[in-house]
Amino acid sequence: MAGEADFDAFYDATNRRVLHQMYAMTGNLADAQDVTQEAYARAWQRWKTVSQATNPEAWIRTVAWRIAASRWRKAKNGIAALARHGTPDHSPPPNPDHVALVTALKQIPENQRQAIVLHHLVGLSVDDIANETGAPTGTVKARLSRGRSALAELLTDTGIEVTSHTQGGESHD
């Protein structure tokens, strides 16, 4: 049975040679290092089998080469997709109010944040939130109330007006 010491000895005896071979095959030292490292990591995961191969170094070399070829195919496909579809449109910068709201949401307790998001952004009713989260409706209402109060404090300095209505102006409390 092959163990860690056997793998370490194999790695020490072969890694520089395989790296140089992959460098010669790929023409890029960083790529050669990446694919060689990945091939040895895969060999370690299957070391009991790989160590019994006729030529474990050939196994490493084959796997490294296949990884490199796979990366090239992905890059080639990406370039083809870019040529087909063109560069993506640039997105506008985020709205400062949105950034302030997300920052404030991160500062309130998770259960309040969940209730606020489900109610005000997703548009779920209190009953729907209770069903989804497994919390009683009274608890959901309390979380909404506390969450709104916490957000109101956090957002007063940013100039964002905090309201308790949902989409369509209807309250589901």
User: ∠ CA(147), CA(149), CA(152), 5° rounding?
Assistant: 105
Please say if the pLDDT value at position 169 is more than 80.
no
Q: pTM for the complete prediction?
A: 0.49
Task: Give 96-169's CATH code, choosing from 3.30.1490.20, 3.30.70.580, 1.10.10.10, 3.40.50.300.
Answer: 1.10.10.10
Angle between helix 29-45 and 56-85 (nearest 10): 120
Statement: 4-85 belongs to CATH 1.10.1740: yes
What average pLDDT does range 27-32 have in this prediction?
92
CA distances from 156 to 19, 79, 101, 115, 150 (A): 59, 47, 11, 21, 10
CA 106 to chain centre: 19
Give, to the nearest 10 degrees, the angle between helix 4-26 and helix 29-45: 150
In whole numbers, what is the pLDDT of the chain averaged over residues?
86
**Where do the structural domains in the chain lie, given as residue ranges?**
4-85, 96-169
Q: Which two tokens stand for residue 95?
A: 């709205």
Q: What is the C-alpha separation between 32 and 12, in angstroms, rounded?
A: 17
pLDDT of residue 11: 97
Q: pLDDT value at position 58?
A: 93
* DSSP sequence for 38-101: HHHHHHHHTHHHHTTSS-HHHHHHHHHHHHHHHHHHHHHHHHHHHHHH-SPPPPPPPPHHHHHH
How big is the CA angle at 137 (ends 172 and 122), to the nearest 5 degrees? Answer: 45
- In tens, the pLDDT along 132-143 reads 899 999 999 999
The reply to whether domains 4-85 and 96-169 share a CATH topology is no
Return the pLDDT at 91: 78
